[in-house]
Each structure stands twice: as structure tokens, then as C-alpha cells.
Amino acid sequence: MNIDLTDTTSGRINSALVKARRASGIPAVGMVLTLVIVTDEGNHYDALKAASEASKEHPARTLVIIKRHGRSPRDRAMARLDAEVRVGGDTGTGETVLLRLHGELAHHAHSVVLPLLLPDAPVVVWWPEDAPDNPSQDLLGQLAARRITDAAATEDPVENLGLRADSYSPGDTDLAWTRITPWRSVLAAALDQRHSRITGATVEGEAYNPSNELLALWLAERLGVPVERKVSEGPGLTAVRLHTEDGEICLDRADGSLAKLAMPGQPDRHVALHRRSTSELIAEELRRLDPDEAYAAAVKFGVHRLSKGLTEERPHGGDGAGTAETPEPAQAVEAAQAPEPARAPGPEEAEEAPEGAGGAGAAGSRTARGTSAKKAAGRRQAPDRSANPKRSTK
């Protein structure tokens, strides 16, 4: 059932939702969360399609916010709210509300969304593109327990990962990280089967793919080894190679669907690693709403540390739970060039030290001469027991 509302309010939208549920024979509310999608007219169809597929696994009230600021000064000064309510049909057990915010109202989306949130249910906000630099400080992001962005939809994905690291707050996540979940699972299982010292790793994938960077960051942070990245023709991630003392562990996916896992001393095996759709990624993110600590550790590790090779190898046998601590290059240079503090020589050292020599050198020479003298005296005072054996037995 679809209900169109023009120049409406949040109260009228709530009344339309109740009316649509009763008309569809669904008087009870069986939804488990509220999914807020912030998008535009050109991308709302694909985002809504993915959310509808994900709501079959997680029944939710989906609020799609479409901001229309207007082109002329008159359009930008006006404030109008248009809505479209959808219950049943393609939405399944959930509800969908398209909210078009015109003019000045586009700057106050949180005020429109707040009365429409499900009571006592978690809130998830998803920006398919054009996400704010700091999602946790955004007025809509402050309402959410989970904030989903997508670095792959930006002009510079690697730079965007730096923004995500600087502004990270518990509850933030990115679909570029969700895309490598199967890769991380297969690699972790392979390392459980093969206990060998890892000396390095290589990640291969197409250019401008943030998933390559995140997988390399995860390997560098967890293993504490240098990680090299190579550009391939794709699609997406194509291969990961772990260099060990016993040989190379290779997970190669050339066609984007089926991968081959090769390990030293074992036969090759095939693993299903197809490129998942956006609806599958959203469904995975909605399964857990607690902070993703693995993502936080990986993204905060720093892409610049990969490019400069500032990773420190952990000792073999460690759990790898912490982050490899590596001094910054400037600090290391300053520490190496800093002179040791000079020690003032004592009176005796000053008398025995030759002219032009430091106190430390004089003291070292004096100590060496004293030690030699003691050894010589010990040899002179030791009795010769072999010369008179009878006396030595008494």
C-alpha cells in the first residue's frame, strides 16, 4: 500500500503508517530497528532496493531522506516536506517512508526524522555517498548506534580512509571493510592450519580500491610484518600472498567469484569468494550493532605507515592482539643524533688524565691498569703447592 503526502508533517506521516498497517492486515509492529538512508534523487532507488532486500533478514522501518535544497533563492528559502509511505508488497514485513526535504528544511533533517523513529529500537544511519567528514558529530549520526559509510563511493578512497581514522568513534564502520570479511575469514583459517613464521605479505587489487588498503592495514596491524600492495586489473581484490619460512600462502581470485588457496605441503583448494551485492553488505552490518573493534584497529593503524614501511615485526609466538609500536622517523633520527650527557671528572681522574683527554677516557684507562695490577699481584701471592706435596696434605 502506498500513500502520497504533500506539504505534510511528521505527525501526519505517523498517522499514515498506522492506517497503512491496518489496511494491510499488519496491526502489530514487528520491526527490530530503524534504518535511515541519507541520499539524493539520483541514488535513492539503488539504496532503497538494497535496504528492502536486507529488511527481509532484519525487518526495519526504513526512512529515506532526500534533500532538495533548490536552485533559486526563492526555492532555498522555502521549507516543505513531501512523503511517500509504503507498507507491504516489496517492503515485506517492514515499512518504508520516502522523505523529500525542500529548501531550508533540508538543513534540519534530524528534526523530521526524530518523531518517526521506532520506540526502544536501535537506529542505523547509512550514507551511500557524500558522507560527512565526521559521522558521529553529524546531527543524524548522533541519533544512531551504527553509522555506515562507503569509502569506495568517494573521489579519493585512500584519503577518505584517513578521514575515517581521524574521526573514528565507536559505532562507525565502512562498506569497504565489510567487503573483505570473507577474505579475512579464509586467511585466518589458513593461518590456523599452518603454524609458520610470517615474514611479509602482499595484497593485489585494482587501483583506487579502499578494500585493498583496509586488508593490508589489517594484516600489518595483526601480524606486525611489512605489507606490500600491487595494482592489478581487478576486479576488486585479486590476490593475497603471505610469505612464511616454509613457503608462500596464496589466496588468488582472478575472476571475481572463485578463489584458489595454495599452501605449502598441501593440495590446492577452491574457495567461493564472489563479489557480494550492496544488500548483502548491509544485511551483514545489521547483524551486529556493537562497535567493530577490528575495523577500528585497522583503520587507525594508518595508511601512511604502509606506504613508508613503518611496521615492526612481532616476536614469533605472540598473540598479535596489539598494534606494532614503531617510532616516527623524525623521533628516531633525533634520538640517534642526540649526544650522551658529559660527566664531570673527579679530582683524581683529572690528575691522572692526559692533557686533551676526557674524564671518561681517563677513568677507563685507570680502571684497566688497576685490574691488571690486581691480577699480577694475585699470581705472585698464590702458593706453589706442587713443589712440596707433603706439606700441602697436612
pLDDT at position 152 over 70: yes
Sequence-distant (6+) residues with CB within 8 A of 166 are: none
From the list 64, 297, 50, the residue with the least C-alpha distance to 172 is 297
Q: What is the pLDDT of residue 195?
A: 78
**Are the beta carbons of 282 and 148 closer than 8 angstroms?**
yes
Averaged pLDDT for residues 230-255: 91
DSSP of 101-165, one letter per residue?
EEEGGGGGHHHHHGGGSPTTS-EEEE-SSS--SSGGGSTTGGG-SEEEE-GGGSS-HHHHHHHHH
Angle between helices 210-223 and 293-301 (to 10 degrees): 100
Q: What is the pLDDT of residue 91?
A: 66
Angle between helices 181-193 and 210-223 (to 10 degrees): 30
Residue 219 phi/psi, 5° resolution?
-65, -45
pLDDT at position 98 over 60: yes
Q: What is the dihedral of CA 194, 195, 201, 205, to 10 degrees?
A: 30
Residue 382 phi/psi, 5° resolution?
-70, 125
Amino acid identity of 348?
E
From the list 222, 116, 228, 129, the residue with the least C-alpha distance to 174 is 129
pLDDT at position 370 over 60: no
Q: What percent of the chain has pLDDT over 90?
A: 54
Q: What is the pLDDT of residue 392?
A: 37
What average pLDDT does the structure give for the chain?
Answer: 79
Greatest mean pLDDT among 21-25, 222-226, 368-372: 222-226
Amino acid identity of 381?
Q
* Greater model confidence, 345 or 97: 97
From the list 345, 342, 280, 355, the residue with the least C-alpha distance to 57 is 280
pLDDT band at residue 251 under the 50/70/90 scheme: very high
Radius of gyration of the chain, Cα coordinates, nearest whole angstrom? 34
Residue 339 phi/psi, 5° resolution?
-75, 150
Q: Which of 112-126, 198-212, 315-329, 335-349 has the lowest mean pLDDT?
A: 315-329
pLDDT band at residue 5 under the 50/70/90 scheme: very high
- Tell me 313's DSSP state: P
pLDDT at position 346 over 80: no
- What does DSSP say about strands 237-244 and 198-205: parallel, antiparallel, or unpaired? antiparallel
- What does DSSP say about strands 237-244 and 247-252: parallel, antiparallel, or unpaired? antiparallel
C-alpha cell read off for 353: 688524565
* Greater model confidence, 75 or 198: 198
pLDDT at position 355 over 80: no
What is the C-alpha separation between 44 and 64, in angstroms, rounded?
8
Q: What is the pLDDT of residue 27?
A: 63
Q: What is the pLDDT of residue 194?
A: 73
**Are the beta carbons of 104 and 80 closer than 8 angstroms?**
no
C-alpha cell read off for 119: 520506540
Residue 44 phi/psi, 5° resolution?
-70, -25
Q: What is the pLDDT of residue 263?
A: 92
CA distances from 286 to 147, 212, 365 (A): 11, 23, 73
Averaged pLDDT for residues 180-209: 91
Q: What stretches of 189-323 adopt beta strand conformation (E)? A: 198-205, 227-231, 237-244, 247-252, 258-262, 269-272
What is the C-alpha separation between 145 and 289, in angstroms, rounded?
7
Averaged pLDDT for residues 264-281: 92
Looking up cell 640517534 gives: 336
From the list 131, 294, 304, the residue with the least C-alpha distance to 215 is 294
pLDDT at position 38 over 70: yes
From the list 58, 61, 104, 62, the residue with the least C-alpha distance to 81 is 104
Averaged pLDDT for residues 158-168: 92
The model's pLDDT over 53-73, given as tens digits with 9 standing for 90+, comes to 998 889 999 999 999 887 777
* Greater model confidence, 112 or 358: 112
pLDDT at position 297 over 60: yes
pLDDT band at residue 210 under the 50/70/90 scheme: very high
Residue 345 phi/psi, 5° resolution?
-75, 150
pLDDT band at residue 36 under the 50/70/90 scheme: very high
pLDDT band at residue 28 under the 50/70/90 scheme: low
Averaged pLDDT for residues 128-138: 94
Cα-based angle 176, 178, 182 (whole degrees, multiple of 5): 120
pLDDT at position 93 over 80: no
